[in-house]
Amino acid sequence: MSTTSRLPGIVTTDHVFQLPLDHQLPDGEQIEVYAREVVAAGRESDELPWLLFLQGGPGGKAARPLGRDSWLARALDDYRVLLLDQRGTGRSTPANRQTLARRGTPEQQADFLAHFRADSIVRDAEVIRRRLLGEDGRWTVLGQSFGGFCTLTYLSLAPEGLREAFVTGGLAGLRSSAEDVYRAAYPRVARKNEAHYARYPQDVERVRRIAAHLVQAAARLPDGGLLTVEAFQGLGMLLGFGTGSHTLHYLLEEAWVEGLDGPELSDTFLAGVQAQLSFAHGPLYAVLHESIYGQRSVDPAGTEWAAESVRKEFPEFDAEQALAEGRPVLFTGEMIFPALFETDPALQPLRETAQFLAERGNWPDLYDPVRLAGNQVPVFAVVFHDDMYVDTADSLETAQAVRGLRTWVTNEWEHDGLRVSGGAVLDRLIRMARGEL
């Protein structure tokens, strides 16, 4: 039975769907997939077109609205919105160290998680569409980041379900392997580091001091995890967001206190680091991250910890070498390294599972270049110039490969522009779709 709630300016309705784990076996094991319907207050009975929101990730649950805010405020002017908790996340049947332990061996867990990629998410969406809108109903999709990857998969597998598509920071390379992705990513991350240190030159020595300390001995985080120098470098994830550089700076400036035996890393700093680095809130992000690039026609051998192997081509990210040579220590970005499964308590039980997924090959293709070349669905995408998470060159090449796709390239916002622009990013895409721009 659906539950309806009223928040400032909006009305929400819960939906829970029983869906096949494997859509090739519709009568096989079932999982729950949750979605939250949101409509502007006072418009509950209006005949509004639907907009499906596909969250970034992988492994990220949909935003929990507190009212009519952010991009949702603009969307609700025109649409009835469905916020999907992609399978394994949020209120959908969760997949984490606690629940996966019930699946059996690490290999069995990996086999289970092989059904949690974009192709399965799109097939979930298609079943949900038919149940909510009817067989012939079509909806608009808005894909942010990884949600944009899913949108390209949607256009490849089931474009008949879509009336139009919006993509924000999520035009993936159709033929890019995981190694290609990271080979392009490290230089972008280096540029974000340079920009941060230019903005806050005092952070150069702060970071070197912390890194030198961690090289000597890893610190213990409040949750029992270990802060190694490599884990510390992972704070570079912040540098791809609009306010991320400032957040990192404020975290670093409270790193030290005078303890009984001299300077030591502060509880404030360690708690702040844990809040940024722990995967307890989204373990699938780490476990499935490289598999989102797996396609048998591109790289049938699998991903094989691509971020780790490609890192060797960029010695400037070696913290100990940087310390020895007197250079700034560089933070890494959206890279998942096998060492994280040794240091993060939320990931430690999934170490072998992640290894099986890294070794898994012959992943089904996620994109159909031929079908995309003949695409009939109107697609409107914003490409954030020098996006740290999604390569601009890949995005523009994909834009050329999808028939009828219109792009807007901007450096006014970073990767999180949809969320932080007060609706301006989505408004421009909608105006493009309406022929106003």
**CA 162, CA 164: separation in Å to the nearest integer?**
6
155 and 165 Cβ atoms separated by less than 8 Å: yes
Q: Of 330, 359, 388, which closes a domain?
A: 359
Quick one: which of 363, 398, 361 has its CA closest to 155? 398
Q: Residue 67 belongs to a domain with what CATH number? A: 3.40.50.1820
Catalytic residue among 180, 415, 416, 421: 415
Tens of each residue's pLDDT in the chain, 437 residues: 579 999 999 999 999 999 999 999 999 999 999 999 999 999 999 999 999 999 999 999 999 999 999 999 999 999 999 999 999 999 999 999 999 999 999 999 999 999 999 999 999 999 999 999 999 999 999 999 999 999 999 999 999 999 999 999 999 999 999 999 999 999 999 999 999 999 999 999 999 999 999 999 999 999 999 999 999 999 999 999 999 999 999 999 999 999 999 999 999 999 999 999 999 999 999 999 999 999 999 999 999 999 999 999 999 999 999 999 999 999 999 999 999 999 999 999 999 999 999 999 999 999 999 999 999 999 999 999 999 999 999 999 999 999 999 999 999 999 999 999 999 999 999 999 999 98
DSSP conformation class of 332: -
Do 342 and 418 have their domain in common? no
Do 251 and 395 have their domain in common? no
Catalytic residue among 145, 245, 278, 421: 145
**CA 23, CA 10: separation in Å to the nearest integer?**
33
Do 153 and 48 have their domain in common? yes
Q: Of 359, 381, 396, which closes a domain?
A: 359
**CA 337, CA 432: separation in Å to the nearest integer?**
40
Is there a catalytic annotation at residue 291?
A: no
Is there a catalytic annotation at residue 27?
A: no
Question: What is the domain count for the chain?
Answer: 2
Do 224 and 315 have their domain in common? yes
Rg (CA), the chain: 22
For residue 323, what are the CA distances in angstroms to 243, 318, 351? 27, 9, 30
Catalytic residue among 387, 391, 394, 416: 387
Q: Of 302, 332, 359, which closes a domain?
A: 359
Query: Which residues of 86-193 form beta strands (DSSP E)?
Result: 139-144, 162-168
Query: pTM of this prediction?
Result: 0.96
**CA 323, CA 405: separation in Å to the nearest integer?**
46
Scan for tokens 């170490």, then name that residue: 351
**CA 214, CA 216: separation in Å to the nearest integer?**
5
Do 255 and 385 have their domain in common? no
50 φ, ψ (degrees, to nearest 5)? -90, 145
Do 278 and 147 have their domain in common? no
Look up the domain containing 409 and give its range: 4-174+367-433
Length of the chain: 437
Do 133 and 183 have their domain in common? no
Is there a catalytic annotation at residue 145?
A: yes
